[in-house]
Amino acid sequence: MTELTEPDDATARPAPEWPQPGGQDITDPEVSQAIAGLFELPGLPVGDHETVYNGLHDELLAALNSDPAEPGPTVSEA
């Protein structure tokens, strides 16, 4: 009978191929900065992904609601 369990050794399982986030053509620095956080996902435990996505949502919402005439936050303020 065939056993239907996952192998215990993490090296025995293939690593998922993560799509690379786009964004090379994004001209808004706030949006670009928010999207940059997606590059961290492959190295994070799955349990932490929700936190990253929630942060991304909040940053994009703030960028959407910001006044384009006002300067955005600088990297040191983030």
Ramachandran sector of residue 23 (left: φ over 0; alpha: ψ -120 to 50; beta: rest): left
Summarised one tens digit per residue, pLDDT across range 19-42 is 666 656 888 888 888 888 888 888
Q: What is the pLDDT of residue 59?
A: 92
- Max Cα distance, the chain (Å): 68
| Position 2 confidence tier, pLDDT thresholds 50, 70, 90 | low
Is 47's pLDDT higher than 50?
yes
C-alpha closest to that of 60 among 26, 23, 32: 32
Predicted model pTM = 0.58
**In this predicted structure, what is the pLDDT of residue 56?**
93
For every residue of 14-65, DSSP letters joined together read: PPP-PPPP--TT---HHHHHHHHGGGGGGGS-GGGHHHHHHHHHHHHHHHHH
